[in-house]
A = this chain, B = another copy of it.
Amino acid sequence: MTVSRVLNNKGEISETTRTHVLNVMRDLGYRPNRIARSLATARTLKIGIVVPSISSAYFGSVLEGAERIFGDSGYHMLLCNTAQNTKREYAILELFEEDRVDGVIVLSSHMPQDELTLYLSKQRAAVVLNSDVEAGIAGHVMTNERNSMSLAVNHLLKSGRRHLGYVGHDVPSYAGRERQRSFVATVEEAGLSSCANRMISCDRRDGHMTARQLLERAPEIDGLVCFNDEIAAGALRACLDLGRRVPDDVAVIGYDDIFLAKLLTPSLTTLRLERTKQEVGALVARMLLERIEGSPTQDEVMINHELVVRESAP
């Protein structure tokens, strides 16, 4: 049909018919049917996104950054929440295949490497953030957790803390594993006594109660690193409950520098990515777009954290 030609302004068309078509389209309130177009072209302009939790301040910001890039390129995001449920993660990835999405983004997957590799290898293009997947299958953005934890622990050591504790996140994930492992390793390297009984983990909503348990069980703790800022905020409150002054008795460090971190009292010392969360989202989105177009310029990007020193651990 000629109409198709004017819609996509390709091929040669006389200006007269062109404007005529445009007028008729307007008068009829015509809207092209994108799904018919997708069937014909085998491109959907849809990106499937798998996220463990939409309501998290961290993922929300990352998604916002990605959405901007996709929106500008005419792509739409199909967003699915795994609610930390691995079974659901499988199901979603399969549905994305049926949807013939042009690409997939997986944020902080809970799947084991071999499974994720298998599922992503069936997708047209994929980029993951902080997830374990075989090289070559997907673009890979990850955070340098060895480095970040070392910044945190050494900062505490420098201010004279000797009894460090860690409150982790109780779901399987790349960052969760790496932070915990790095905490243990860094503390050992410093030649401190074992911290094995000063570690605990919890759901992201349970920082308050869990930190409190930990501080009661190990009252010698004078420095606490938490998996993220929500948990750290709970820890701050737990210290208040127990009459432990922050930072005098216990110093607290979180992760992510969420918007409210600086507004807490005491304001929260935290590890912030060297790029904003929006930029990370944008980066992931751009990497995916490159892969969709078949011209990936980079397969792996590692992002460092920097320490934002505030009142809770000066």
Chain A residues within 8 Å of B, Cβ to Cβ? 29, 31-36, 38-39, 44, 46, 53-57, 60-61, 63-64, 67-68, 71, 76-81, 83, 88, 94-95, 97-100, 122, 205, 208, 230, 233-234, 236-237, 240, 259-260, 262-265, 267
Residues of B within 8 A of A77 (CB): 78-80
Q: Which of B56, B97, B208, B264 sits near A31, CB closer than 8 Å?
A: B97
- The answer to whether residues A81 and B53 also contact, given A35-B39, A71-B88, A100-B34 and a CB cut-off of 8 A, is no
Residues of B within 8 A of A35 (CB): 35, 38-39, 44, 99-100
Give the interface centre of A55, A57, A95, A264 by most chain B CB atoms within 10 Å: A55
Query: Could you tell me if A67 and B81 are in contact, using CB atoms closer than 8 angstroms?
Result: yes
Q: State the oligomeric state as a number of copies.
A: 2
Query: Could you tell me if B80 and A67 are in contact, using CB atoms closer than 8 angstroms?
Result: yes
Residues of B within 8 A of A122 (CB): 29
Q: Which of B61, B76, B236 sits near A78, CB closer than 8 Å?
A: B76
Query: Could you tell me if B76 and A81 are in contact, using CB atoms closer than 8 angstroms?
Result: no
Q: How far is the CA of A97 from the CA of B205 in the complex (A)?
A: 38
Find the B residue at minimum CB distance from A277: B55
Find the B residue at minimum CB distance from A49: B79
Q: How far is the CA of A187 from the CA of B35 in the complex (A)?
A: 54
Q: How far is the CA of A260 from the CA of B261 in the complex (A)?
A: 10
Find the B residue at minimum CB distance from A60: B55
Q: How far is the CA of A267 from the CA of B234 in the complex (A)?
A: 12
Give the interface centre of A54, A61, A230, A265 by most chain B CB atoms within 10 Å: A54
Query: Could you tell me if B230 and A260 are in contact, using CB atoms closer than 8 angstroms?
Result: yes
Given contacts A35-B44, A236-B263, 16 further A-B contacts (CB under 8 A): A34-B95, A35-B38, A35-B39, A35-B99, A46-B78, A57-B57, A68-B81, A78-B78, A233-B260, A236-B265, A237-B265, A237-B267, A260-B260, A264-B264, A264-B265, A265-B265
